[in-house]
Amino acid sequence: MRQFRRAFAAAAAVAVLAVFSARAGFDFAPKAVVSTDGFIRVVAYDNPRDDVGFRRPILAFAGNLLESLSNAFNIKRMKVKEPGLVIYAMDGRTNDTRVIVKPETRSNGSKVVKIYLPSPGYSDLDELRMGIAKSFVGADMPEWLAQGVLRCRDSETIREDTRFILELWSGGRLPFFPALCTDLRVGKGKAAALPGFVAGWIKERKVLEKLRAEGWNGKRLAEMLTGEKSPVMQDRACDERLARLARSVLEPGECGGWELDFFSSRLLLYPPYYDMKLVDGRAVCSFREAIDVGESNLFVRATALLKSREVPLYAIGRGDRLRTAADAYTRFLLGVAAGEKKEDLVKLLNKADSKLEAAYEKNGKDDNR
């Protein structure tokens, strides 16, 4: 099926060029404009009945997008002798709205991405952006990488991608990291966060230019990002990176669903030592259980004191509502540590739970605005 699509795209591209040639004798003919660095070449009709035409607007669109990608990945655009991106735009007198992207290798070994726009005034801009991004990452790079680098331009998209990836990871649903580098596909909907996550790590490690120079190799990419050769160690390095992201503030002063879920997942008591048990031979104790056993279990009280210092850290920089809930839980934990009366501890925990529920309700209303 993939070979069929490639063959179809190639045939369609040839057909577009044939129409260009057939119309060369009309009262308007295709002309070309080139970006100042020589990387972009746009061939389009210069229609005397249209004062604007397509050439320069398309050149500006492609140039601005490549500039934003270069800035995002801290790559300086250098002058080149041969264009790496060639866009062919017809006069629009057709109802064919496809964006045909065709990576090619020249006889001298250099790479170029050719994009054909049968009806440029109605072309899908997202598909056009993907084709332009393909020229940025390299003609021989996978499609998902082009999608990923596009998602790295916008800070809000980066935050949403990070939240979704953290949700997958904390739920044990994130794929094995080496598989992400070797078998990833273009994502749809929220799944587009996966290419964004890998591309974001490429951006962070500043290895895109090295990857382009070496040519595509998914296994090599996993090594460059993690610094490890073993697939198991690569996945562990990914876990460590996500653990750091989980502790970071994605958006100062804001608290989304991921932040609330992460905070809630930490509302358990764990002993400070690996082989220590707290309640009934278990190492984990809920806050409700701590109320019942705290009076007679000094380990539980000591663990509550340690947790009281930890809980506020999960709310730093994440808005007043979560900070208020964290303060309430801290007050409860100090009460457990001090051996306060059970009825008083129940009231303190109920108050803390209600403040966390209010934060969830506020977040749900914000999501449905």
Q: What 3-state DSSP class applies to 105? A: strand
Q: pTM (2 decimals)?
A: 0.74
2 burial class (0-12, 13-18, 19+ CB within 10 angstroms)?
exposed
Question: Residue 330: which residues within 8 A CB-CB, separation 6 or more?
Answer: 308, 311, 312
Candidates 144, 101, 158, 142; CA nearest to 124 is 101
Alpha-carbon gap, residue 30 to 98, rounded angstroms: 19
17 burial class (0-12, 13-18, 19+ CB within 10 angstroms)?
middle
pLDDT tens string for the chain (369 positions)?
Answer: 544 455 444 444 444 444 444 444 334 456 789 999 999 999 987 665 555 568 889 999 999 999 999 999 999 999 999 999 999 998 767 778 899 999 999 999 999 999 999 988 889 999 999 999 999 999 999 999 999 999 999 999 999 999 899 989 988 899 999 999 999 999 999 999 999 999 999 999 999 999 999 999 999 999 999 999 999 999 999 999 998 888 888 878 888 888 898 899 899 998 877 677 888 778 889 999 999 887 788 889 999 999 999 999 989 988 899 999 999 999 999 999 999 999 999 999 999 999 999 999 988 876 654
Backbone angles phi, psi at 104, to 5 degrees: -140, 160
Alpha-carbon gap, residue 76 to 98, rounded angstroms: 31
Q: What 3-state DSSP class applies to 104? A: strand
Q: What 3-state DSSP class applies to 18? A: helix
Domain ranges of the chain: 2-140, 149-247, 257-367
Helices assigned H by DSSP within 206-319:
208-214, 218-226, 231-247, 257-265, 287-293, 298-310
Alpha-carbon gap, residue 190 to 173, rounded angstroms: 14
Candidates 97, 163, 152; CA nearest to 127 is 97
Alpha-carbon gap, residue 297 to 149, rounded angstroms: 53
Strand partners, 42: 33, 87
Alpha-carbon gap, residue 135 to 61, rounded angstroms: 14
- In the block, which residue shows the tokens 């605005």? 369
